[in-house]
Structure 1
Amino acid sequence: MSVAEPELSVDFFAGVLGWTVIAEPGGSFSGWVGDRLAAQVVAGDRGWRVFFGGDEPRELVGNSSVDSGRVLHGPWAPPPRAGEPCWAELMTSAPRDEYWVSELGWESRSGAEDFVLFTSARHGDPRAVAGRLVTSRAEGWQVYFAVEDVAAVCARVSELDGRVLLEPTTVPTGRIASIEGPRGGACVVLEKPAGWGGAWAS
């Protein structure tokens, strides 16, 4: 995530998601859940950036990239623990599903209300890897984090001067809420996901 004040932002998300924070060289910070990296927070103004696993590192559209390193979170990684990324969903008013299918070798399956589920068989049986929703709201990849209790997280967000953008509600992925830190970095929290993608994991 790139935000104007990385230290203050990482402290907010650590307070909400339970990260252990480590200061990195150059004024950036990393948030950890146990021995797994949950996020990196750097100076900038682009919000969350999503990295997908692949054979050849490269930039993609929509504030995303491909990295050839070991995938830390996703459908073939260990189940998400509280505070870890657990899903990614592209919010867009101009769907380009063929781009993601071509670039990442995904398959797409249409769902209800302008939703598409992307799946991948990269490591065996097809698994849900990401979603796409047509919306007139903010464009770009929306990052989801696993939490034990969405309502409790929303209360903590308010205590730490953040904003609850979408009150707790149930969607096909599971029980969610959308939150934002006092200095940006909007994301979604998903209650007790069984695996990557919550209900999509099955």
Structure 2
Amino acid sequence: MPVSSCGLRRLELSVAEPELSVDFFAAVLGWTVIAEPGGSFTGWVGDRLAAQVVAGQEGWRVFFGGDEPRELTAGSFVDSGRVLHGPWAPAPRHGEPCWVVLPGDDEVFWRRELGWEAARAEGGSGLFTSSRHGEPRPVAGAGSGWTVFFAVDDVGAACARVSELGGRVWSGPESAPVGVTASIEGPRGGRCALLEHPKGWGGNWVS
């Protein structure tokens, strides 16, 4: 079994028009944008990388920290290097990744590949936990498919900004086990979720 991954190394959004997409998410999430070599862009919150936006058609791709870089499944990867976001990282600020829900129909796969343990939260929600640094902490949710979450100070205000900029609010704001959330998408793709003022990685799950 590999050493348990303790969180998210980075996020990558693969879309047809990276510059226009990064401008949209920067306006909603408050990123500082840097143009990178090869036509990609990075979005930063202070000195922490929130996401990279590249040319392609794959949507959000998730890179977990680990010892052996490799592709996993369904747009997920392991990447070596310092974990920037997760249960042992600093509390997420507005615009930073703050949670991820992954396909939970194959618990054995995730336990084998990332060294996680499967657990059940109050209410029956599926969770994966990591014991990389001692006591187990929630590291990802288990659901029907991928969802990446970004922290915002005010979900309602963020949704209004999404609409102003030509994006789509799929659902919310609404209360969920993880906290107050909304599902949004940019005018050129990149569907994701917003989580209001999480006190740590996973919002309500940290308690």
After TM superposition, is the score higher than 0.5? yes
The alignment partner of 1:66 has SS state of strand
* Distance (Å, rounded) in 1 between the aligned partners of 2:20 and 2:123: 37
Deviations 1:72-104 (A, max 9, x none): 111111110000000000146xx1111001111
1:82 touches 1:147 (CA, 8 Å); kept in 2? yes
* Distance (Å, rounded) in 2 between the aligned partners of 1:191 and 1:170: 10
Q: 1:41 pairs with 53, 62, 68, which one?
A: 53
> Paired residue for 1:147?
152
> Paired residue for 2:181?
176
Deviations 1:33-73 (A, max 9, x none): 01110000000011111111111111101211111200011
Counterpart residue identity of residue 115, structure 1: S
Structure 1 vs Structure 2 CA RMSD? 1.3
Cα deviation, residue 167, structure 1: 1.7
* Distance (Å, rounded) in 1 between the aligned partners of 2:178 and 2:133: 22
> Paired residue for 1:7?
19
1:163 touches 1:182 (CA, 8 Å); kept in 2? yes
Q: 2:41 pairs with 29, 44, 59, which one?
A: 29
Cα deviation, residue 114, structure 1: 7.0
Q: 2:28 pairs with 16, 39, 62, which one?
A: 16
Cα deviation, residue 110, structure 1: 3.1
The answer as to 2:65 corresponding to 1:53 is yes
1:114 touches 1:133 (CA, 8 Å); kept in 2? no
Deviations 1:111-152 (A, max 9, x none): 578731000001111110000113xxxx4x211000000000
* Distance (Å, rounded) in 1 between the aligned partners of 2:122 and 2:167: 31
The alignment partner of 2:158 has SS state of helix
* Distance (Å, rounded) in 2 between the aligned partners of 1:51 and 1:122: 17
Identity within the alignment, %: 69
The answer as to 2:135 corresponding to 1:130 is no
Count how many residue pairs are aligned between Structure 1 and Structure 2: 195
> Paired residue for 1:163?
168
> Paired residue for 2:10?
none
For structure 1, the residue ranges without an aligned partner over 5 or more in a row are none
The answer as to 2:197 corresponding to 1:187 is no
1:91 touches 1:142 (CA, 8 Å); kept in 2? no
The alignment partner of 2:60 has SS state of coil
1:21 touches 1:30 (CA, 8 Å); kept in 2? yes
- Compared CA separation, residues 91 and 153, structure 1 to 2 (3 A): farther
* Distance (Å, rounded) in 1 between the aligned partners of 2:67 and 2:32: 30
For structure 2, the residue ranges without an aligned partner over 5 or more in a row are 1-12
